[in-house]
Homo-oligomer: A and B are copies of this chain.
Amino acid sequence: MTRPCNDTFLRALLKEPTEYTPVWLMRQAGRYLPEYCETRRRAGSFLQLCKNPALACEVTLQPLARYDLDAAILFSDILTVPDAMGLGLYFTEGEGPRFERPLREEWAIRDLTAPDPWHHLRYVMDAVAEIRRALNNSVPLIGFSGSPYTLACYMVEGGASSDYRCIKRMLYERPDLLHHILSVTADAVSAYLNAQIESGAQAVMIFDSWGGSLSAAAYQEFSLPYLQRIVAKLIVESGGERVPSIVFTKGGGLWLESIADIGCDAIGLDWTIDIGEARRRVGHQVALQGNLDPGVLFASADRIADQARRVLDSYGPHSTGHVFNLGHGISQFTPPESVTALVEAVHSHSRLSRTGSE
């Protein structure tokens, strides 16, 4: 494996100097792009799109054709792992993902086993390999997974939830059962991410989207240790190159110090924390990824550039270890031209700051 021509993203994650601040966007291949909607229509459904390596490859590359992004991210869904565990993932219009068999009975929980990613999630590995071939070493490819706690939320609730009452009942009443689910899921996620790395992923990100719905104490007991266990098992180097890891707990701004301690290379930040303050709190222990409010992209190009500069300046213009991103996935209502303005602003402002020309 060789480093891609544009390895700015990987160098920033490893806190090496870069000529400018690299940028990519969570959910950059998504519904705000008309070409994505067109491919999805052709696929028939979101799930068929995820499960078809050729089409997953096609949509992964779409934002790179439009924008000067510094990384590609595998197009997939975080719920492929529980689906491979046999819970029966399906999507309903307007309601989002659901499971046919939510995980609530003790016997079903005790029966849960980690799937073999090379068998049950072969389509993901095929997509990773196909995307790597198509990228042809232009920019690095990010693999990803949901965190054990986030996956458990969906598995126990049976879908998205506003109050998480099934999993919270389990957490407080039967912590032993939840720990069992989390333990099996952490093993599944480790194997899944390592298979992605072996298939060609050059960095990996773990999305702990619902970790922020936990109390401080519950986060320390039910989310963080499983993130740590996964990070500890990740393949560190592939083909002579370091494979950096990014951990993103949405709503985790209060817990940055403890996240920095689990051994990941970078922390993803949502937009509620000032990135300069985050950097002061964690020092140079980890790189930071983020953290523009996705709502900024509803404004005009000039305002987008202003706000992007604020984030860059707050991080520190001459500093290493920053990957620019939104603080959350891009909204489906984002005008595509907003992304052009953002990428241009991040690249030009960070380049100028480094040369000291402004």
Contact = CB atoms under 8 A, between A and B. Distances in A.
Contact of A274 (B216, B293, B310): B216
B173 A300 contact: yes
Contact of A295 (B168, B219, B295, B331): B168
Helix, strand, loop or mixed for chain A's interface? helix
A218 interface: yes
A214 B171 contact: no
Interface in A201-227: 212-219
Contacts of A212: 272
A90 interface: no
B295 A171 contact: yes
A91 interface: no
Interface string A318-334: 00000000010001010
Contact of A273 (B164, B254, B310): B254
Given A163-B331, A213-B272, A217-B274, 19 more contacts: A163-B294, A163-B295, A165-B298, A165-B333, A168-B293, A168-B295, A172-B295, A172-B296, A172-B299, A172-B304, A173-B298, A215-B271, A215-B272, A215-B274, A215-B327, A216-B274, A253-B253, A253-B254, A254-B273
Interface of A: 163-165, 168-169, 171-173, 212-219, 251, 253-254, 271-274, 277, 293-296, 298-300, 303-304, 307, 310, 327, 331, 333
25 contacts: A163-B294, A165-B295, A165-B298, A165-B333, A168-B296, A168-B298, A169-B299, A171-B295, A172-B295, A172-B298, A172-B299, A172-B303, A172-B304, A172-B307, A173-B298, A173-B299, A214-B293, A215-B271, A215-B274, A216-B272, A251-B251, A251-B272, A253-B254, A254-B272, A254-B273
6 tightest CB-CB pairs across the interface, nearest first?
A: A168-B295, A172-B299, A169-B298, A216-B274, A173-B299, A215-B293
